[in-house]
Structure 1
C-alpha cells in the first residue's frame, strides 16, 4: 500500500495548488512510489492519481462518509499486482468491518475481442488487449479472500467495482455483457448515482480506522505452490486464482476448445452456457498453437495445472508433458497418493498417461491427443532420440517440437526463454513459433508479466537478470522494495543454520548449488558428502536412478521435508519453489571486472563434456543460476565460494545474517534489516 487517508483528509489533498500541475495527493504518491519502488511512476499511474481518485473521494464526501479510510495501491499478497483503492469502514446495519475494492479506469471507449469476451481494448493505443475491468476486479477480490482470512469471516465483507468515470454507457456498451457478481460491478459516468448508493449501502458515517488496521495487519495465508495446487485440484475451490494476463490466456484457450468442439471431441458449452457458445466446427484457419512465455513465478505452471483441472472437472482429460524428471514424477506421485485400496495399479497407469515426457510422443498418431499442455517447454530437446528408443522410431533430424505439435489437436507451450540448462535444450518462444509456422500452424504468443514468487517483486527478477548478464544491463546494487528479502551468508555453515531454522519455524527451505562438485553414487545406501567447501561438507540430493533410506528421491527433493538434508542441483530445483532459498555460487561463475564470467573448467556437469561450444556452456551456466536464484518465495540467501566473487556480492547486497533475540529465547540467525512477512511467522505444518 502506498498511502492511507480518511476521505476528509483526502478532500484537502485532491485540489491542486496554484501553479502546480499535480494535486498534493498525487505529489505524495509520486514520492512514495519512487521511495518504495526506486523508479518513477508511470504516466498512467500519475494520471489516475490526479484525475480518478478525486472522483471517488468526492463521492464519499457527497454521501457524508468523511471517516471512511481510503487505501491507495493495495498490494495483493505474494504478487506484483495491486488494487487501485480499497475503501475501509463499518457496515451501516451491523457495524462490522466492510471493504470495497475499486479499480479505476480513465477510458472513454472500449471494445471486446470477438474471440474472447474477457479480452478488451480499452483504447490505450498499445495494441494489446487487457483483461475486462469487471473480471479483473472479480479476480482481485477472489484472490484477496483466498489469502486474507480476515475477509473470509463474513461472506459479504468484501465487494468490488470497476469505475469507468469518464465513459458513457453507450461508448462501453459491450462491457456490460459480462456477468456481474458481488465481487465485480461496472459503473460509468452515467451510473454515479448508483455508485453513491453502493457507498451508502456498504458504509456507515463512522470511522474506518479499525477496519483499515485489521486489513493491514491481517495474517496472510502462505502462497499456494505448484505442488499444493496439484494436490488440491480435486477439492472444491482447489484451483488457482489466475490474474490479469494469466486469466486472459486461460480464457482464450478454453474458448478455442469450445469453438472447435468437434475437432477436439468437446461438447459445445464445455466451459460456458450453450446459449452463449460460439458456433462449433474446426478452426477454418487450421491448427492453432499457443505459446505462453513468462519469467520465474509468472504462473506458467499455474495455468498448465488450472487448464488440466478445468478439463478434468468437465470429465475430460488433457495430457501434461514436461522435460523435467522431478516435475513429472512429483505430479505422478501426487496422483498415486489419491489411489483407493486395490486401485493403485489403475491409478499408476492413469498417472503415466496424464503426465508424460516430451520424448514419449514419437509414435503418437497425428492429432491423437485432444489437448497437450507442454509445461517447462524451455527444456525442449532438438530431437526425441534417446538410448532406449526402438530403432524404427529414431530420427535425429526430426525436431522434438514437431512431434509434439503433430501429436495434439491443441498444443500449448509454456516457457521461460532464460531457463534452458542443457546444451541440446532449444525451447524458446522464437524457436517454437518458427517450428509451428513451418508446420502450417497459426501461433499465438502471450507474455505473462506478473510474478507470484519473490514476494511479487518484479524488481528482484530484473535484478537477477542484470546480475547474470541475461540480455540486460550490467549488475547493479540491490535496493529492497519491501517484498523480497535478499541477504548474504558469510559461510555455508551460517547459510545452513539459517535455512534449517526457517524449516523448524514451519517454512519450506532448501539449499542449492551450482554443479561444481562431483555427484557420486551412494555407498552402501549412504550418500557421499560430495559438496565440500573448506571444512563444511554435505551430499547432493539422491540421483534419479537410486534410492537411499531416510532421503527423498530426486523427484521429491523439493517437496519432501527430508530434502533439507541434501544440497539440491538445478535439475531437481527447477519448476519448484520454497519459502527460503539458499544458493551457493560455485567456482564456475566468477565476478571479474564488473560482471560475471563463466569458468567452464570448474563445472562438473557431464552435459558439458565433449565438443560443446563455449557460448552454449556460458548460456547454460547463467541460466542455471537464474533458475536457482529465483526459487524463493519469501527470501534468498547467497554465498559464493570464490572470495573475490563473495566480496562483490557483499558490495551489491546490503542484507546480512545476524544474531537476534526473540521474546527472551535463545538467539537465532535472522536476516537483519528485514522483517519477516506476516504469512511466514511460525505456523504449524
Structure 2
C-alpha cells in the first residue's frame, strides 16, 4: 500500500505550493489513520530536502514518486521511492530512508547497530544503511512481481540534517557491508544523492512500475516450522529488521559476555503475536551453537516442539540430537548452576511454577532455568496466558534475576509480521475483546481478511476452500468435552452445534498443525499456540458472550475436560471477584491467541448471537 503517489512534476509542484504535507496527511488518514505531530513535522522537513534534490532537469518529470510505502506482510513503511527506467530501459526503483538525525555514535560488538537521539533519549537503533537494505530485501523476498519483472531495487539513506566528518561513526569500517549495499548521504551530499538517483532513473515511469509493485503478487509469508531445517543448516531465511535486529544483537552480545566471564545475564523480550519472537529465538539458537555454545530452545507447550521434530526428522541431524536441542520447560529441576551456556525460552508466559505431570517436581521453572544457564532469554506476551497454571511473567523473571544477582535487560518487539503486518488488527482485537482500550476501536489498517460468518458449516467450508496448501485450520474455544472413546477417531464428533458436527484434534497426533488430514478436525489452544497458519476459522463458544453493553465470559461454559481452568471453582468459593477476573483474562486471552494464528485471515462464528451481531457491527465500521 502506498500512502501518497504522484509524478515527480506533481510532487515538485505540491512542495513549491506548500500543499505537500496536507496532501500526504489527507491520504495517510484515509489509508492508515491519524498521525502524530512528529510524523507531520518530519514530512514538512524532509519533503523540502527531497524537492531540492529532485529539482534537476535530468531527473525526468514523469518518473514516479511514492511516499510511505508499506512493505508487504509487515507494518513497516518506506519513506520515499522514485521509479523509472535506467539507461538500458530496465525498470528501476530508488528506495530512500529519510532521517532527521544530527548526531550518532558507533556501537562496538553489535552488527549493524548505532546510537542516536530517539524519543528524547540516546538509544540503540539499526544503522540507516542496514535499515534501508533490510527493507529492500523484504520487498525483494515478498513481492513476486519485483522478481518476475526484474525490477531493480537500489536503496540508500539520506540524513539531511547530519554533517558527516572525517572518521565519522556512521562510516566506520564495521558498517561497510551495509553502506556498500545502501550508500549514506548527509546534509552536504544533496548533489551526490541526486547523481545516485540519476544513475538509476534516466527515463520516466511509463510502465506503471509503482502500480505494478503496489498491486504485485505477494509471496506467501514464510512459516517458521517450514524453514527450520534450512535455518539449522545456517541459512538466513528471515531478514531481521529494526527492533528485531536490536534484540538479536543484544542477546548475542550478552550471551558471549556470559560465556567469557560466567556471570549470569538475562534478557526479557516482550512482544505480541507475530512480532517475530520465535524467529529471533531460532536465529539465536543457530548462531549461538555456531559459536560453540551449549544452547537449548525451550517451550512449555509440546505442540511447537513436536512440529519441529517432524519437520526436521530424516534430515542431517539425529533424533537424539534434536530431542536434546528442543526441551520442555520442566527439564531443569536437577540441573547444575551454569550447566548450559544459553537457554532460549519461547512462549515464556506458559511456564509453570512447578514441573511434572502432577506439578510436584522442582521448585520454580523460572528459577531453575536461570540457575541452569549462564545466559537465558525469555520471550513473553502477557496476553497469551491461557491457563491457571501459567506462571511466567516479567515480575517473576525479575524476582529471580535479583535472587541470582543476574544482569538483566528488557526490550520490546512491536513490528508486525503476522495478520498481514497489521498492528491495527491486533490493537482492534484487544479493544473489541475489551482486553485493553486502544486507538483502533473503530477499525484497522492493511489488507487483513477478517469475516464474521453465519454458521459453523459456512466457516468449515470457507476453511476447506482456503486450505490449498495445507495452510488453513479450524480452531475453537474449549467449550465441548473431548469424548474419551473418540480421542483417536475422527468419526466421533465432539463438537456439535445444531446440524454441524466435527471432531476435536485427535489424541494420537502430536503434529496436528501440519498433518495433511487435520483440516477435518478442530484444533484447540494447546495444539495451535506457538504455531501459525495462513487462515484460521475460529468457533467462539458459549464461554464468551455479549450482554448488550460489554463482553462477558463464563467459566461454567468451559468443557469438563478442560484443564486450563482446573481449580477455578474452588478459587471462586474463596474469592469470587478475584476468580472471575482471572477466568475472564484467561478466556479472552485464549480467543485472542486463536484469532491471531492466521497470517492472512481470520474468520469467526459465535454461538452467542448477540456476540455475533456485536462483531458484525464492529466490522461494519471498518
Same fold (TM over 0.5): yes
Which stretch shows the higher mean deviation, 558-567 or 210-219? Answer: 210-219
1:576-587 maps to which residues of 2 (within 5 A)?
576-587=531-542
Q: Distance in 2 between matches of 1:192 and 1:472?
A: 44
Which stretch shows the higher mean deviation, 467-476 or 219-228? Answer: 467-476
Query: Which of 597, 605, 612 is residue 631 of structure 1 equivalent to?
Result: 597
**Structure 2 equivalent of residue 308 of structure 1:** 285
**Structure 2 equivalent of residue 516 of structure 1:** 479
Structure 2 CA distance for partners of 1:451 and 1:50, relative to 1, 3 Å: same
CA offsets per residue over residues 50-108 of structure 1, 9 Å max, x none? 2212322332232521222111111111110011112111111x111111111001121
Contact 2:489 2:506 in 1 (8 A): no
What secondary structure, in the 3-state scheme, does the structure 1 residue paired with 2:385 have?
coil
Q: Distance in 2 between matches of 1:525 and 1:48?
A: 60
1:664-675 maps to which residues of 2 (within 5 A)?
none
Structure 2 CA distance for partners of 1:182 and 1:564, relative to 1, 3 Å: farther
Structure 2 CA distance for partners of 1:30 and 1:473, relative to 1, 3 Å: closer
Offset, 1:315: 5.9
**Structure 1 equivalent of residue 15 of structure 2:** 14
What secondary structure, in the 3-state scheme, does the structure 2 residue paired with 1:624 have?
helix
What TM-score does the superposition give when structure 1 sets the normalisation length? 0.83
Question: Does 1:229 find its partner at 2:224?
Answer: no
Q: Distance in 1 between matches of 2:206 and 2:20?
A: 20
**Structure 2 equivalent of residue 161 of structure 1:** 156
Number of residues of Structure 1 aligned to a counterpart in Structure 2:
604
Contact 1:510 1:563 in 2 (8 A): yes
Q: Distance in 1 between matches of 2:92 and 2:180?
A: 13
Question: Does 1:58 find its partner at 2:52?
Answer: yes
Q: Distance in 2 between matches of 1:633 and 1:296?
A: 10
Question: Does 1:531 find its partner at 2:495?
Answer: yes
**Structure 1 equivalent of residue 427 of structure 2:** 462
**Structure 2 equivalent of residue 496 of structure 1:** 460
Question: Does 1:652 find its partner at 2:618?
Answer: yes
Structure 2 CA distance for partners of 1:30 and 1:205, relative to 1, 3 Å: same
Query: Which of 186, 194, 201 is residue 192 of structure 2 equivalent to?
Result: 194
Offset, 1:111: 2.4
Offset, 1:150: 3.8
Question: Does 1:294 find its partner at 2:261?
Answer: no
**Structure 1 equivalent of residue 249 of structure 2:** 251
Question: Does 1:83 find its partner at 2:60?
Answer: no
Unaligned runs of 5+ in 1: 17-22, 265-280, 340-345, 548-552, 656-672, 674-685
**Structure 2 equivalent of residue 481 of structure 1:** 445
1:4-43 maps to which residues of 2 (within 5 A)?
4-16=5-17, 23-38=18-33, 40-43=34-37
Over the aligned positions, Cα root-mean-square deviation in angstroms equals 2.4
Structure 2 CA distance for partners of 1:63 and 1:228, relative to 1, 3 Å: farther
Q: Distance in 2 between matches of 1:207 and 1:636?
A: 37
CA offsets per residue over residues 300-329 of structure 1, 9 Å max, x none? 001011112333455655210001110111
Q: Distance in 2 between matches of 1:526 and 1:619?
A: 33
Contact 2:296 2:324 in 1 (8 A): yes
Offset, 1:621: 1.1
Q: Distance in 2 between matches of 1:631 and 1:489?
A: 18
**Structure 2 equivalent of residue 662 of structure 1:** none
Offset, 1:12: 0.2
Offset, 1:171: 9.9
Unaligned runs of 5+ in 2: 572-578
**Structure 1 equivalent of residue 323 of structure 2:** 352
Question: Does 1:614 find its partner at 2:580?
Answer: yes
What secondary structure, in the 3-state scheme, does the structure 2 residue paired with 1:233 have?
helix
Q: Distance in 2 between matches of 1:427 and 1:631?
A: 21
What secondary structure, in the 3-state scheme, does the structure 1 residue paired with 2:118 have?
coil
Question: Does 1:96 find its partner at 2:59?
Answer: no
Q: Distance in 1 between matches of 2:232 and 2:565?
A: 42
Which stretch shows the higher mean deviation, 227-236 or 487-496? Answer: 227-236
Offset, 1:642: 1.3
Contact 2:101 2:116 in 1 (8 A): yes
Query: Which of 498, 501, 519 is residue 564 of structure 1 equivalent to?
Result: 519
Contact 2:103 2:162 in 1 (8 A): yes
Q: Distance in 2 between matches of 1:124 and 1:454?
A: 28
Which stretch shows the higher mean deviation, 519-528 or 325-334? Answer: 519-528
**Structure 2 equivalent of residue 343 of structure 1:** none
Offset, 1:211: 2.6
CA offsets per residue over residues 596-644 of structure 1, 9 Å max, x none? 1211110012332332433322221111111011111111111110122
What secondary structure, in the 3-state scheme, does the structure 2 residue paired with 1:412 have?
strand
Contact 1:101 1:141 in 2 (8 A): yes
Offset, 1:154: 8.9
CA offsets per residue over residues 149-184 of structure 1, 9 Å max, x none? 344469992121111011101399211122234542
Offset, 1:335: 1.9
Offset, 1:532: 0.7
Query: Which of 413, 416, 430 is residue 448 of structure 1 equivalent to?
Result: 413
What secondary structure, in the 3-state scheme, does the structure 2 residue paired with 1:582 have?
strand
Which stretch shows the higher mean deviation, 619-628 or 555-564? Answer: 555-564
Structure 2 CA distance for partners of 1:443 and 1:316, relative to 1, 3 Å: closer
Q: Distance in 1 between matches of 2:49 and 2:488?
A: 69
Q: Distance in 1 between matches of 2:487 and 2:386?
A: 31
Q: Distance in 1 between matches of 2:108 and 2:291?
A: 25
CA offsets per residue over residues 309-358 of structure 1, 9 Å max, x none? 3334556552100011101111122221315xxxxxx7111111000000
What secondary structure, in the 3-state scheme, does the structure 2 residue paired with 1:608 have?
coil
Contact 2:350 2:385 in 1 (8 A): yes
Contact 1:289 1:410 in 2 (8 A): yes
Contact 1:7 1:57 in 2 (8 A): no
Question: Does 1:597 find its partner at 2:597?
Answer: no
Structure 2 CA distance for partners of 1:288 and 1:190, relative to 1, 3 Å: same
Structure 2 CA distance for partners of 1:182 and 1:151, relative to 1, 3 Å: farther
Contact 1:507 1:579 in 2 (8 A): no
Q: Distance in 2 between matches of 1:207 and 1:156?
A: 12
Contact 1:335 1:347 in 2 (8 A): no
Structure 2 CA distance for partners of 1:125 and 1:645, relative to 1, 3 Å: closer
What secondary structure, in the 3-state scheme, does the structure 1 residue paired with 2:268 have?
strand
Q: Distance in 1 between matches of 2:427 and 2:453?
A: 22
CA offsets per residue over residues 273-298 of structure 1, 9 Å max, x none? xxxxxxxx427xx4210111100100
Q: Distance in 1 between matches of 2:537 and 2:261?
A: 50
**Structure 2 equivalent of residue 660 of structure 1:** none
What TM-score does the superposition give when structure 2 sets the normalisation length? 0.92
**Structure 1 equivalent of residue 576 of structure 2:** none
What secondary structure, in the 3-state scheme, does the structure 2 residue paired with 1:84 have?
strand
Contact 2:488 2:506 in 1 (8 A): no
